[in-house]
Amino acid sequence: MNSPNRGEESPKEEPDRDKDAAEESESKSLLPSQSPSPSSDDENEVAFESREKVVIVDLETPESILNVDYVPPFSWKKLWLFTGPGFLMSIAFLDPGNLEGDLQAGAIAGYSLLWLLMWATVMGLLIQLLSARVGVATGRHLAELCREEYPTWARLVLWFMAELALIGADIQEVIGSAIAIQILSNGALPLWAGVLITASDCFVFLFLENYGVRKLEAVFAVLIATMALAFAWMFGDTKPNGKELLIGILVPRLGSKTIRQAVGVVGCVIMPHNVFLHSALVQSRDIDPKKRGRVQEALNYYTIESSVALLVSFMINLFVTTVFAKGFYGTKQANNIGLVNAGQYLEEKYGGGLFPILYIWGIGLLAAGQSSTITGTYAGQFIMGGFLNLRLKKWLRALITRSFAIVPTIVVALVFNTSEASLDILNEWLNVLQSIQIPFALIPLLTLVSKEHVMGVFRIGPTLEKLAWTVAALVIVINGYLLLDFFVSEVKGLLFGLFICIWTAAYIAFIVYLISRGGALPSTWFSIELSKRFSANGT
């Protein structure tokens, strides 16, 4: 019997080939999408090259080698190796913009919004854990995944919005540092000089990064510890009322006069650039995405680490809020306190002491500003590289991303350095700018983390999906209220009003597009409701 021709297949081989194809398809569906192979690194932007990653030392066992689902037991040593990205992420909860929101909430609302600060931090933790989940499970960060998920025009719009959010945050952070430098120099250095000094931090960042990720993380640990010590010192000096503090945390209260401060507390929690940043930072650890057990192990450790980091950030924000609640709630100065004059008000209220409280405030503010500007530079690299797939040298990427924010910041410092009131107005506009960008980070994140072809077995389940969308909707609605309140009070003139209306229509249309294109809203919300109605009609 003649053998079949080369271009033909025997009937016996076809079922075997179909079986192999089915097994291969099943194995692919069980594993998350993989990061590009090493050979493609020259063509695709990556968060961290292999030589830059922290190696997770482990004692391999026969079970762990053969079983991809094996999750090693908990180890304090491993937790220490995974500690770092969450604390860099937590800096966004401690930037000068957040500190200004804290002091104004304390001065105007007293202790009554501490419960909201706590729950807002919990909501922020949920969003950041989802961001980390995307980075670990896929081996790529959010900006890279957006580049693949959306068409070119939508990707460029998302990139532009992310850059705007980053610039707005960076202006606040740099000016916060400049104010701190002005305080610590007794006014010898003007605001624009402080801006130039702060701008040089990108070179410090590059210098530290050359010594490895762990060295950079150690520097941030020192800056966070400096903030914690400075603001805890202030907390101890002012001796806030412990009973009122506890009631403020445990008992929800919200008055009509504190709505604006409440909106500010929640609005400051979700920083658009921070959502992109965390998904990239978690890739600084060498995790094999082919081993599901090791991915799950990394997610477990990152959950612990991020929770501890945001607990620390909550305590620091709590210190600032209660200090100003104790000193200025119910006083004439309450409505006039801002980042620029907060130190002077503290000095007048509490005096010099062993170490003048003005300088303690300045040291804490400087640590907050410097750390947040460096993470802003970091986030800018990932956002630009991920969306545009740029392969540039680190110094050039840092210089470009730093220039995006520093040039407008210097202009702003020169124009708005005329009075404290003008800087407060600027801060309100910057808060609005960042609030506008929040949907363009949250919607892509929740869309991607819910898709099986992106996340594989690590896609979130229906319950967590509903919870995440509820939190996202709440944050977006709250920020929408802030925007509406701001535009109603600030928009004057027919032409400007018409422009705002056209822009708002385009803005809402793009949000609807993002939701509809990705099938973003959980289908179970509707399917469960429909099934209930049909069953009710059937009975």
The 10s digit of each residue's pLDDT in 285-326 is 888 777 888 899 999 999 999 999 999 999 999 999 999 999
Query: Does the residue 207 lie in any domain?
Result: yes
Residues 6+ apart with CB under 8 A from 271: 92, 93, 95, 165, 169, 434
Range of the domain at 153: 71-432
Query: Does the residue 496 lie in any domain?
Result: no
Whole-angstrom distance, CA of residue 365 vs CA of residue 226: 10
Higher-confidence residue: 122 or 7?
Answer: 122
Whether the pLDDT of residue 20 is over 80: the answer is no
Bridge partners of 125, per DSSP, are none
Query: Does the residue 18 lie in any domain?
Result: no
Highest mean pLDDT among 41-50, 280-289, 308-317, 501-510: 308-317
Whether the pLDDT of residue 36 is over 70: the answer is no
The DSSP annotation for 297-315 comes to HHHHHHHHHHHHHHHHHHH
Token digits of residue 405 = 């924010």
Higher-confidence residue: 34 or 375?
Answer: 375
Lowest average pLDDT, out of 247-256, 408-417, 529-538, goes to 529-538
Query: Does the residue 117 lie in any domain?
Result: yes
Whether the pLDDT of residue 436 is over 70: the answer is yes
Whether the pLDDT of residue 339 is over 90: the answer is no
Segment 127-133 mean pLDDT:
94
Segment 472-479 mean pLDDT:
82
What pLDDT is attached to residue 260? Answer: 74
Query: Does the residue 318 lie in any domain?
Result: yes
What pLDDT is attached to residue 22? Answer: 47
Whole-angstrom distance, CA of residue 485 vs CA of residue 35: 44
**Are the beta carbons of 382 and 141 closer than 8 angstroms?**
yes
Token digits of residue 173 = 């952070």
The kind and range of the H/E element at 54 are strand 54-55
Segment 205-213 mean pLDDT:
75
Q: How many alpha carbons lie under 13 Å from residue 423 in its C-beta half-sphere?
A: 26
Lowest average pLDDT, out of 32-46, 347-361, 495-509, goes to 32-46
The DSSP 8-state label assigned to residue 47 in this structure reads S
Whether the pLDDT of residue 91 is over 50: the answer is yes
Angle value at C-alpha 118, between 297 and 420, nearest 5 degrees: 120
Phi-psi region of 45 (alpha: psi -120 to 50; beta: other; left: phi over 0): beta
Closest alpha carbon to 170 in 383, 353, 21, 14: 383
Whole-angstrom distance, CA of residue 97 vs CA of residue 431: 8
Whether the pLDDT of residue 214 is over 60: the answer is yes
CATH of the domain at 163: 1.10.4160.10
Q: How confident is the model at residue 134 (pLDDT cuts 50, 70, 90)?
A: very high
Token digits of residue 387 = 């969306």
Query: Does the residue 132 lie in any domain?
Result: yes
Lowest average pLDDT, out of 145-149, 159-163, 171-175, 257-261, goes to 257-261
Whole-angstrom distance, CA of residue 303 vs CA of residue 305: 6
Query: Does the residue 248 lie in any domain?
Result: yes
Mean pLDDT of the chain: 79
Q: How confident is the model at residue 168 (pLDDT cuts 50, 70, 90)?
A: confident
Bridge partners of 12, per DSSP, are none
Query: Does the residue 461 lie in any domain?
Result: no
Give the predicted TM-score (pTM) of the model: 0.83
What pLDDT is attached to residue 262? Answer: 80
What pLDDT is attached to residue 345? Answer: 87
Tell me which residue has tokens 């909860």: 93
Whole-angstrom distance, CA of residue 275 vs CA of residue 437: 11
The kind and range of the H/E element at 434 are helix 420-437
**Are the beta carbons of 531 and 474 closer than 8 angstroms?**
no
Highest mean pLDDT among 208-217, 298-307, 372-381: 298-307
Whether the pLDDT of residue 159 is over 60: the answer is yes
**How many structural domains comprise the chain?**
1
Phi-psi region of 235 (alpha: psi -120 to 50; beta: other; left: phi over 0): alpha
pLDDT in tens, 49-77: 666 787 777 656 555 556 677 788 888 99
Segment 371-394 mean pLDDT:
83
